[in-house]
Amino acid sequence: VPVAVTTTTTTTPAVSSTASQSRAEYNLSSYPERTVKLVDFSNKVYIAPLTTVGNLPFRRILKEYGADITCGEMAMANNIVSGQASEWALMKRHASEDCFGVQVAGGYADTMSLTSRILENEVQSDFVDLNSACPIDLVCNRGCGSALMTKSNRLFEILDAMTSQLPSRSVTIKIRTGWNEKAPIAHELIPQMQSRFNNKLSAIMLHGRSRLQRYSKLANWDYILQAAQAQNPSLRRIPVIGNGDILSWEDWQHHQHMLEDNLHSVAQRSASLTHTGAHTTELAGATVDEVEGDAGKEVLGLCNCAMLARGALIKPWLPQEIKEQRVIDIPATERLDILRKFCNYGLEHWGSDQQGVNNTRRFLLEWMSFLHRYVPNGILSQPYAQGMNQRPPQYFGRSDLETLLSSPSSADWIKVSEMFLGPVGKDY
């Protein structure tokens, strides 16, 4: 839950005009009085920004299944400044999103400074996330996304600009391990960000893959811990949130146990060095008790936050699974009801005219390209568990509806959409 802290700054007239105004109309040097919100990600379930599929109707579904923090889809800074309506729609917040962030991608400090100022005055959010992790060629070729990791000076200039223009909300950043897996650089960037933005960054989200790996291979959680531990122990540690390959509460538990094993080994090293009057760099004088459990993760800079991405697309009830620490075998009828809700929320969000129906159908079908990959736990041979990067063969479910929802055929997805949105045209 955001913690409100009042801070007094120079008072100037509020900016009331829209993002299409010229740069000259925005005073970038002074602000009205603001209320600062410090977002605490600890022990929360956070739904990561998901381009195209992480839309407002989808996030409403995730909130109903227990998500604590949500974030809008990646928006391009240039499009925000130019007032592009479709880009501004990505930052719309639903009333149920009690802790909400927006994610922005940009490659230049001046553009990001203006964008941040616009967000400060025109958008209601609890935090703003800088995307330095998107692997898409179109984004990287513009100097945005993962490309920023290869230009650290420009990255830090952008963070300087954002933190100076967003006095009322937290700033976070999402990065990857590096450009390629053979030369990871996150463990170098994180200490530099800690030194330069110690009291300005709320959290660092670290995707456990490189840019070239995109979404292939498994996320490297050992490296995530290594990068978090690379911070200077004499300074406040910026919480590092790991991301990648969480498809069940067991996956989350496995990552936590793996991290706890690492923490235990650090505690043992600390205990052995205590007899000599020394201490490990990671602990910076912390006691053995301080590095056990969740408190230990915080001591080493790792935030105990379940950050979900593709796993939430495949299993939207995953937040509930993690919180209740149990496998939930959702029946096909309830899964169909999720789709019905999405369509209702979509028509409410995009409109009930033909354009709204078309948009709702399009995003429903996009989502079903992930949803169909779910294999019900009840038909798996125990103790087998479905993995994120596995593509199971087509199977017969426990009912005709369950079989239909597992179909990889887009024609079958269209049939499902027609249950709620009416028939499509013959050339669809």
| Residues catalogued as catalytic | 134
3-state SS, the chain, equals: CCEEEEECCCCCCCCCCCCCCCHHHCCCCCCCCEEEEECCCCCCEEECCCCCCCCHHHHHHHHHCCCCEEEEEEEEHHHHHCCCHHHHHCCCCCCCCCCEEEEEECCCHHHHHHHHHHHHHHCCCCEEEEEECCCCHHHHCCCCHHHHHHCHHHHHHHHHHHHHHCCCEEEEEEEECCCCCCCCCHHHHHHHHHHHCCCCEEEEEEECCCCCCCCCCCCCHHHHHHHHHCCCCCCCCCCEEEECCCCCHHHHHHHHHHHHHHHHHHHHHHHHHHCCCCCCCCCCCCCCHHHCHHHHHHHCCECCCEEECHHHHHCCCHHHHHHHCCCCCCCHHHHHHHHHHHHHHHHHHHCCCHHHHHHHHHHHHHHHHHHCCCCCHHHCCCCCCCCCCCCCCCCCCCCHHHHHHCCCCHHHHHHHHHHHHCCCCCCC
276: tokens are: 């000599």
Dihedral angle over CA of 46, 50, 53, 59, nearest 10: 20
CB 84 within 8 A of CB 401: no
